Chain A
Amino acid sequence: MDIYFILEKLLLIVVAFAVTMFFALYETLAERKVAGFMQDRYGPNRAGIFGLLQPICDGAKLFAKEEFIPDTPNKALFIIGPAVSMIVSLLGTSVIPWAKEFHFGDHVFIPQVADVNIAVLVIVAILSMGVYGIVIGGWASNNKYSLLGGIRAGAQMISYEIAMGLSIISLVMMTGTMSLAQISEQQAGINWNVFYQPLTFLIFLVCAFAECNRTPFDLAECESELVNGHHTEFSSMKMGFYMFSEYVAMFFSSLFMSVLFFGGYNYPGMEWLSEHVGVNIANTLGVLALLGKAICFIFFFMWIRWTIPRFRYDQLMNLGWKILFPLAIFNILLNAILILVFKW
């Protein structure tokens, strides 16, 4: 039983890893396709049908590029930087509940790698670690632009983490649990948290953009002023790791937002389906529903990137500290009053 349990979890980890990498791979293509669509042009369409082989060509190109390490006294840290970035962004999917329990005869299979009762806190911890890769890599590059990029990334992460944590607190006040499995269960059908907590969702969404270092919050990278920010000196697959970790973080943030606010694997009519058609079929559709919601969010991320211009650095800090932070505290107060009045 014990060895069987470990094997099952290992299989689940491998599958989650494969799905994440697949999504990250095709997000790179989707990004360019969406950019093309927004700017009224085609985007990549030469490799394979609709350019579907483009990400594979890009990956092969990145592997084949020359591996260049600048003259820095911190070669080890220079290599550790992108690795940390990648590892941390891959950790997040370990606590996502992909669906309800599958039933194979007597055996019950839970499609969640680790059902810890503090999953929300685990994710906050993972998000706060994400900046280390950027800061370490930026510092070890021995380049002023990289250092500036790393420091900006750190400052941004600290500023937006506070508002993000506070918005999660008001959600946890309502749900009364920190386990993502239970939060998903509570939102059965169309009883989604976003309808009760629209303000929380808005704050969280803005902070998620900042945590992923996506435009309009890409002050760490910013091609126009800092050349390429923290990954100026990185070449070949090290640069690829930084780029990939951004896309993985985007996928993971989309999943997390779907689970917290948009019902996770729930979809209308799920109970009817599992009663009349079969539990496993209904659950499989649940996985697809979760992925579909994540895809909607990923498209939203790209949509914002290609329509909204960037912030200036002081505007970014003002938004974080003077608008989002007081708003999040007000949101907690509002929720506390509402919970007291309506006894949720």
Chain B
Amino acid sequence: MITVIFYILSAITLGAALLTVLSRNPIHSAIYMIVCFFSIAGHYMLLNAQFLAVVHVIVYTGSVMILLLFTLMLLNLKEKHEPHKAIISKITAVLASCLMAFVLFAAFMKAHPVIEQYKETGVDFQSVKVLGNVLFTDYLVPFEFASVLLLLAMIGVVMISKKDLKQDVD
């Protein structure tokens, strides 16, 4: 039963991801991306990680996708424009995603024994309580660094928009 659901979900994920890249209309690709994110949340559900699934839906489909739809709508309302990219940027994009996949693969391989350990002991490792506990004890420093990074990004956005405003006034 679960295997069948997994295959269906995987087909949806891969199909939607491919359509995101291949469709010519930017809004259509944004909508396929929403579908893709939803099916990934479904995968999390299959792994019994409810918290992760719901947070994934909130963060990605909720906020990022709305912002993406916004930019797409405000930038090009009618024409299907697809700027022809130089071959060098295509190659760099492929290289960058391969490196990303490599890093992710390494992380998963490293995480595997830990997950097996959890599975054997049968300890609850997905609830909010456990996650919060781990985040604020074992991973406190990376967690704080991530929050500082987010704050910096926010301030950076404000600074960039302020600079533009000043130039307009001048």
Q: A96-104, A154-162, A205-213: which one contacts chain B?
A: A154-162
Residues of B within 8 A of A125 (CB): 54, 57-58, 61-62
A124 with B50, Cβ < 8 A, contacts A117-B127, A132-B34 known: no
Give the Cβ gap from A34 to chain B, nearest Cβ, in Å. 33
Q: Which residues of B110-160 have CB atoms within 8 Å of chain A's CB atoms?
A: 127-128
Give the Cβ gap from A60 to chain B, nearest Cβ, in Å. 33
Q: Does A297 contact B (CB under 8 A)?
A: no
Secondary structure type dominating chain A contacts: helix
Residue from B31, B58, B70, B128 in contact with A77 in the complex, judged by beta carbons closer than 8 Å: B31
A178 (CB) vs chain B CBs: closest residue: B128
Residues of B within 8 A of A124 (CB): 58
Residue from B62, B69, B70, B127 in contact with A128 in the complex, judged by beta carbons closer than 8 Å: B62
- Report whether A151 and B66 are in contact in the complex, using a CB–CB cutoff of 8 Å: no
Give the Cβ gap from A249 to chain B, nearest Cβ, in Å. 16
Residues of A within 8 A of B27 (CB): 139
Q: Does A30 contact B (CB under 8 A)?
A: no
Q: For the complex, give the distance between the alpha carbons of A194 and B77 in Å.
A: 45
Residue from A118, A131, A136 in contact with B50 in the complex, judged by beta carbons closer than 8 Å: A118
Give the Cβ gap from B80 to chain A, nearest Cβ, in Å. 9
Total contacting residues, chain B, CB less than 8 A? 22
Q: For the complex, give the distance between the alpha carbons of A118 and B51 in Å.
A: 7
* Residue from B55, B69, B74 with most neighbouring chain A CB atoms (10 Å): B69
- Report whether A117 and B73 are in contact in the complex, using a CB–CB cutoff of 8 Å: no
Residues of B within 8 A of A155 (CB): 70
Residues of A within 8 A of B31 (CB): 77, 136
A162 (CB) vs chain B CBs: closest residue: B63
Give the Cβ gap from A203 to chain B, nearest Cβ, in Å. 19
- Report whether A131 and B58 are in contact in the complex, using a CB–CB cutoff of 8 Å: no
Query: 20 more A-B contacts (CB under 8 A) besides A151-B70, A158-B63?
Result: A77-B31, A116-B50, A117-B50, A117-B127, A117-B128, A122-B54, A124-B58, A125-B54, A125-B57, A128-B63, A136-B31, A147-B77, A150-B73, A151-B73, A154-B66, A154-B70, A155-B70, A158-B66, A158-B67, A161-B63
